[in-house]
A = this chain, B = another copy of it.
Amino acid sequence: VSVTIKQVAREAGVSIATVSRVLNGTGPVREETRRRVLEVSDRLRYVPHIAARSLITHRTQTVGVLLPDLYGEFYSELIRGIDSSARGHGYQLLLAGSHGSGSDLEAALRATRGRVDGLIVMSPDVSARKLQANLPAELPVVLLNSPVDRPPHQVLRVDNHGGASSMVRHLASLGHRRIGFVKGPAHNLDARERLRGFREALREVRGDASPSLIIEGDFTEDAGHRAGRRLLELARRPTAVFAANDAMAIGLLSALSDAGVRVPQEISVAGFDDIPLARFTSPPLTSVRVPILELGSRALELLLARLSEGGRRGERLEVLPTALVARGSTGVAHA
């Protein structure tokens, strides 16, 4: 169907080896020959067959991206970061989402054999051991927010703990001591680290550590909404609520609005991630900025570095800083 190198060679009156050399810029070629080959190749709209090439070169110019899920703005930003960086370096993206269960991850991993040069894997939910067992040893891998941190894998993390702590300190500086927290999924590393940061900082500022102030959640708007209702039923309401991600904070805002509770006059609300939408909730959401786009592009860069590394070993763990972004949803504690 498509035009092959053979046709270009015949048409240009040279061997396929020469065509290959011209197109790859390898080896010496007479200028006139070069021009002729290029002219024919353009005219025939020849595009090299990558699969054939990669069989020999062992390079596919493709990066596999395995994500636990694809729901929501977080992932689209992450993918955007990876994609824009990949594009810049001439790489394609093979995407696989929703490997919720371990066997899905394994299947997705297997399916990438021979089609990618490296892997970016985000798997905050899977146990470290399981992950280790499934990762192909021969492929460079960058792990995002993963519980694994031993070589030979590069790990890129977000400073979840530090971000959560600084939010608590921010709230404390506004006078809050009774602070509700809406948790993320129990097996999710990000969620656990955020909870840990919350707890430690709360102790530091001598906040109220009542268990009733900590509500279950799963990172969805719905969970935030439910958590909001539960918190409102408390005998002693918190003066502020910190949700482990923005989606839940948005659900929280919605529940408070439904109940006629004013934010931040009666209750302050804070989130985590600082998704693009956070600026546009009412009131605008105070959050912890996670450089999602950068997380994606940096992951790709680390992977490319490993690809060209050739055995050299560098840092294995990199942590991206977070930043507190104070907006209208947090204010001084009322009572």
| A247→B269 CA distance, assembly (Å) | 22
Task: Please state if A98 and B84 are interface contacts (CB–CB under 8 Å).
Answer: yes
- The listed residue (B50, B87, B282) touching A254 by CB distance below 8 A is B282
Chain B nearest CB from A137 CB (Å) reads 9
Give per-residue flags for A130-142: 1 if the beta carbon is below 8 A from chain B beta carbons, else 0.
Answer: 0000000010000
Task: Please state if A70 and B76 are interface contacts (CB–CB under 8 Å).
Answer: yes
Output the nearest chain B residue to A107 by Cβ-Cβ distance.
Answer: B87
Known: A84-B97, A84-B98, A95-B95. 16 other contacts (CB 8 A): A47-B113, A47-B114, A48-B113, A48-B114, A49-B55, A49-B113, A51-B54, A51-B60, A70-B76, A72-B73, A83-B95, A83-B96, A92-B115, A221-B279, A221-B280, A281-B281
| A79 at interface, CB cutoff 8 A | yes
Task: Please state if B83 and A97 are interface contacts (CB–CB under 8 Å).
Answer: yes
| A212 at interface, CB cutoff 8 A | no
Give per-residue flags for A38-68: 1 if the beta carbon is below 8 A from chain B beta carbons, else 0.
Answer: 0000000001111110110000101000000
Chain B nearest CB from A139 CB (Å) reads 9
Q: Are A97 and B79 CB-contacts (below 8 A) given A254-B279, A282-B253?
A: yes
A284 contact set on B, CB distance < 8 A = 254
Q: List 18 A-B contacts (CB under 8 A).
A: A51-B51, A51-B54, A51-B114, A62-B94, A62-B115, A71-B276, A72-B76, A73-B73, A75-B76, A79-B97, A80-B98, A87-B98, A115-B115, A250-B281, A251-B280, A254-B282, A277-B277, A281-B282
Q: Are A225 and B280 CB-contacts (below 8 A) given A60-B51, A94-B94?
A: yes
- Most chain B beta carbons < 10 A, residue from A48, A51, A283: A51
Task: Please state if A2 and B79 are interface contacts (CB–CB under 8 Å).
Answer: no
Task: Please state if B93 and A95 are interface contacts (CB–CB under 8 Å).
Answer: yes
| A257→B257 CA distance, assembly (Å) | 13
Task: Please state if A280 and B250 are interface contacts (CB–CB under 8 Å).
Answer: yes
Interface residues of A (CB under 8 A from B): 1-2, 47-52, 54-55, 60, 62, 70-73, 75-77, 79-80, 83-84, 87, 92-98, 110-115, 138, 221, 224-225, 250-251, 253-254, 257, 276-277, 279-284
Output the nearest chain B residue to A51 by Cβ-Cβ distance.
Answer: B51
| A225→B77 CA distance, assembly (Å) | 21
- The listed residue (B138, B276, B282) touching A2 by CB distance below 8 A is B138
Q: Tell me how many chains of this kind the complex includes.
A: 2
| A87→B108 CA distance, assembly (Å) | 9
A83 contact set on B, CB distance < 8 A = 70, 95-98
Chain B nearest CB from A97 CB (Å) reads 5
| A60→B221 CA distance, assembly (Å) | 38
A112 contact set on B, CB distance < 8 A = 92
Chain B nearest CB from A20 CB (Å) reads 15
Output the nearest chain B residue to A52 by Cβ-Cβ distance.
Answer: B55
Task: Please state if A221 and B87 are interface contacts (CB–CB under 8 Å).
Answer: no
Q: Are A50 and B280 CB-contacts (below 8 A) given A92-B96, A96-B93?
A: no
Task: Please state if A70 and B62 are interface contacts (CB–CB under 8 Å).
Answer: no
| A96→B63 CA distance, assembly (Å) | 12
